[in-house]
Amino acid sequence: MKKICFALLLLCSVVSRADEGMWMLNRIDQRTADIMKGLGLQLTPLELYNPEGESLKDCVVDFCDFCSGVVVSPEGLVFTNHHCGFGGIQKLSTPEDDILKNGFAAKTYEEERPVEGFFVRFLDRTEECTGRVMRAMNEIYLKYPEKDPKQLDAQYLDSVMNAVEKEYSEANPDRYCLVKSYYTGNAYYVSLYKVYNDIRLVFTPTQTLGKFGGDTDNWMWPRQTCDFSVFRIYADKDGNPAEYSRDNVPLKAKRYARVSLDGFRPGDYCMTVGYPGSTDRYLSSYGIRERVDGINISMIDVRGLKQSVWKRWMDSDRAIAIKYASKFASSSNYWKNSIGMNKAVKELNVVGQKQQLEQDIRNWYAQDESLTARFGTMFGELEQAYNGRFDTMKAYGFFAETFLRGIELGRVAAILDSKPDSAQIAKTREQLQTFYKDYDARVDEETMAVLLDNYRQKVGKDYLPSFYKDIDSLFKGDTKAYARDIFSRTALTDIACLNRIVADSTLRDTDPMFGYYNSMTDFYKEMMKHVLDGRQTISYNEHMLTQAILERDQETPHYSDANFTLRLSYGFIQDYTAGEQHFDYYTNAQSLLDKAARQQEIEDYKLEEDIISLIRKQDFGRYADPQTKDLHLCFLSNNDITGGNSGSPMFNGRGELIGLAFDGNWEAMSGDITFNPELQRCIGVDIRFVLYLIDKWGHADRLIKEMGL
């Protein structure tokens, strides 16, 4: 945290290339605006971000803190991706009313369905608070001069950030205030949000459309996925946030996005505005190795096994398919992402490129004694700390995927591990009801047997929790028999367990699932001691590496890594070539029919006959492209994208909505670590495809009119 060069941060709003970057809207200066204008943007910086008035940022929302969305009507109508709304759609689905499978279109406001737990946030403003944070930390450094700054940062920084958040919250009681780190701890900003919690489902296509291509096409191009769902924001009669009530009314939007049916061509300006979640483009080569060879390997291995078990059950029972749909989609998404990332990192020589950058930095600071004093030990300490914990981190990856994200019933033991008082029982019951709604003990038992056996094979004997001794001594190493024994004797497989344990607390000592859970958590605590070894050293020196990059390249603009705050990426519509294969910038209706014709061999290409018949009619009307006279489905731009960008509006130069971002392409899956301008593309669903389905399939004329079309 010490000796930060604040002048460097003033350069961060300048942009060097049109297609890379997670740029902060509140830091767009005139030079940046001129570059975007030259590419075709017709809006001024103030029309993009204006904390004192209306601007484009006012129609973009943080959707449930894991996706993005856009308001498209004066009545608070919100478009986001189908996979962003998937969990809510699944919650509202039952075997008798399977809207996940069949789709849903509310014909009136009264038919719109509230989704428990969903919310949206509107950004009010973002303010820099680096000075506040640094002044507080400098006081701590002076107070404890004998202590290592790395230790002080780890011990006090979060508390300082929380204190700044509290100051803003007290001064703005009607806002949600959040302080976040930028540039690996070299700058800090606070964002103030207005939060609405009454969110209702308005429209969703069938699952076959919203997830068309499934795992087969995920992270791939070309795509035909109609990845959208429609929600509405409700407020009290005065337009203020309010919990769900039948008396609430549709929000009168401060700003909404106009929809364009004009189409676009390669080279046309395209801009995404949304909430990208996480990138690590300043990460050292040592950190990249840990992520690829440690964390990603375990995710690929364990999730692949877990998903194969889940899928067998889901294919055989529609009720289980509904229960596990959202969990499977979430697990599968980053399972395939990790596969693609590891492949791209190797093929694009990402580690080699990073090592060359690090050598350039060594050469740079070696020319100046003061720079050597600040940065000279940085790489040696990073290498030693990362290498020292590599084996443990790899084992921890397998542990986390197996026990924390794989075997589910341990979560119930975690919830019931401490005795709830009378005030907590209602909250505990609510937690368990949510859990059991999407749980099947038969699936979990088989998952447990498979994952326990796999974990033993993939980690050394030093990383086995103590219950493996019981597996060996009592069950002769048979994890299937061990799982059967636990699930046949535990009381935790249904909601009645809460009443049982409230009546008889000795269950915590006698129930076998608590025995498994306690053994697992005891080992977890020991493992975490080793996982945390070197964390302070790594955090401090990764921070110093970013500082060195900023200072060395002062004439080059640098955006901060994504951290789920509002960001802008700008570029243009663009195709690409990978190897000897060229990919066009859009897909059309016929390409969807071609894939649907293969649904007997590829299940992910299944499509209902009524949808196929509708598209075959080619009655595209005003949704057809003006030049090709065809229905365009999905398209490519060279905008920057990562997780969290899903649902981000894609705007043309006039600030009109032309699509919703939903994916990246396979050839550039290393994009969270490094941006490759030749290969990296943002995949969006064409807004004309969205409106065509709302209109022609859903017959939701009221929504078309509401958007002013």
CA–CA distance, 124 with 320 (Å, rounded to integer): 41
Distance in angstroms (rounded) separating the CA atoms of residues 208 and 221: 18
Distance of CA 74 to the CA centre of its chain: 28
The number of residues in the chain equals: 709
Return d(Cα 1, Cα 137) in angstroms, integer: 8
The rounded distance, in Å, linking the Cα atoms of 355 and 252 is: 52
DSSP state letters, 265-330: -TT-EEEEEE------TT--HHHHHHIIIIIIHHHHHHHHHHHHHHHHHHHH-HHHHHHHHHHHHH
CA separation, residue 345 to residues 37, 285, 357, 538 (Å): 34, 11, 16, 21
Query: What is the CA 553 to chain-centroid distance, rounded?
Result: 30
Span 488-498, average pLDDT: 94
Q: Average model confidence (pLDDT) for the chain?
A: 93
Q: Report the alpha-carbon distance of residue 520 to residue 467 in Å, rounded.
A: 8
Residue entry with tokens 């296509």: 205
Residue 18 pLDDT exceeds 70: no
**Mean pLDDT for the stretch of residues 436-448:** 96
* Beta carbons of 296 and 342 less than 8 angstroms apart: yes
Question: pTM of the entire structure?
Answer: 0.91
Helix axes 512-531, 479-489, angle to 10 degrees: 120
The model's pLDDT over 106-119, given as tens digits with 9 standing for 90+, comes to: 999 999 999 999 99
Compute the average pLDDT of residues 595-602. Answer: 95
Q: Give tens-digit pLDDT for 679-703.
A: 999 999 999 999 999 999 999 999 9
d(CA 389, CA 392): 5
Task: Enter the tokens of residue 140.
Answer: 């701590």
- Tell me, what's the pLDDT at 6? 37
Q: Which of 628, 648, 627 is nearest to 637 (CA)?
A: 648
Dihedral sign from CA coordinates of 76, 330, 560, 180: positive
Q: Which of 227, 301, 444, 672 is catalytic?
A: 227
| Mean of pLDDT values over 99-112 | 96
pLDDT for the residue numbered 19: 61
pLDDT of residue 567: 97
Residue 145 predicted with pLDDT over 80 = yes
Catalytic residue among 68, 73, 338, 646: 646
Residue 2 scores a pLDDT above 70: no
In this predicted model, what pLDDT tens digit does every residue of 375-427 receive, in sequence order?
999 999 999 999 999 999 999 999 999 999 999 999 999 999 888 777 788 88
Place 130 in a pLDDT band, splitting at 50, 70 and 90: very high
CA 639 to chain centre: 17
The b-or-e profile of 340-365 (16+ CB within 10 A means b, else e) is bbbebbeebebbebbeebbeebeebb
Q: How many CB atoms lie within 10 A of CB 678?
A: 13
Among candidates 224, 212, 217, which has minimal Cα distance to 336?
A: 217
- Of 679, 656, 654, 682, which is closest to residue 668 (Cα–Cα)? 679
Residue 265 burial class via C-beta count within 10 angstroms: exposed 0-12, middle 13-18, buried 19 and up: exposed
Nearest one of 61, 44, 62 to 53, comparing CA atoms:
44
Share of the chain above pLDDT 70, in %: 97
Tell whether the torsion through CA atoms of 38, 43, 44 and 49 is positive or negative. negative
Across the range 110-132, mean pLDDT stands at 97
- Note if 227 is an active site residue: yes
| Phi, psi (deg, nearest 5) at residue 86 | -55, -45
DSSP state of 219: T
Lowest-pLDDT range, 14-23, 47-56, 57-66, 563-572?
Answer: 14-23
Q: Are 293 and 544 in contact (CB under 8 A)?
A: no
- Confirm if 192 and 175 have CB atoms less than 8 A apart: yes
**Contact, 36 vs 42, CB < 8 A?**
no
Output the pLDDT for position 148: 85
Per-residue burial over 635-663, b = 16 or more CB atoms within 10 Å of its CB, e = otherwise: bbbbbbbbbbbbbbbbbbbebbbbbbbbb
Q: What's the CA gap between 707 and 260, in Å, rounded?
A: 11
Annotate 5-69 with DSSP letters as a single string. -HHHHTTTT--S-SS---EEGGG--HHHHHHHHHHT--S-HHHH--TTS--GGGGEEEETTTEEE
pLDDT at 590: 97
580-591 pLDDT, tens digit each: 899 999 999 999
Q: How confident is the model at residue 12 (pLDDT cuts 50, 70, 90)?
A: very low
Q: Are 587 and 212 in contact (CB under 8 A)?
A: no
Please check the confidence at residue 152 and state whether its pLDDT lies above 90: no
Confirm if 281 and 545 have CB atoms less than 8 A apart.
no
Distance CA(136)–CA(149), nearest Å, equals: 13
Kindly report, residue by residue over 237-287, the tens digit of the pLDDT. 999 999 999 999 999 999 999 999 999 999 999 999 999 999 999 999 999
What's the average model confidence in pLDDT over 310-322? 95
Q: What is the mean pLDDT of residues 293-309?
A: 96
Rounded Cα distance between 12 and 558, Å, is 5
Catalytic residue among 83, 543, 558, 632: 83
- Residue 73 known to be catalytic: no
Written as six digits, the tokens of 566 are 């509002």
Question: Is 646 one of the annotated active-site residues of the chain?
Answer: yes
Nearest to 55 by CA among 311, 356, 273: 273
Looking at the chain, the whole-number percentage of residues with pLDDT higher than 90 is: 86
How far is the C-alpha of 440 from the C-alpha of 129, rounded, in Å? 47
3-state class percentages of the chain: helix first, strand second, coil last, to nearest 5: 50, 15, 35
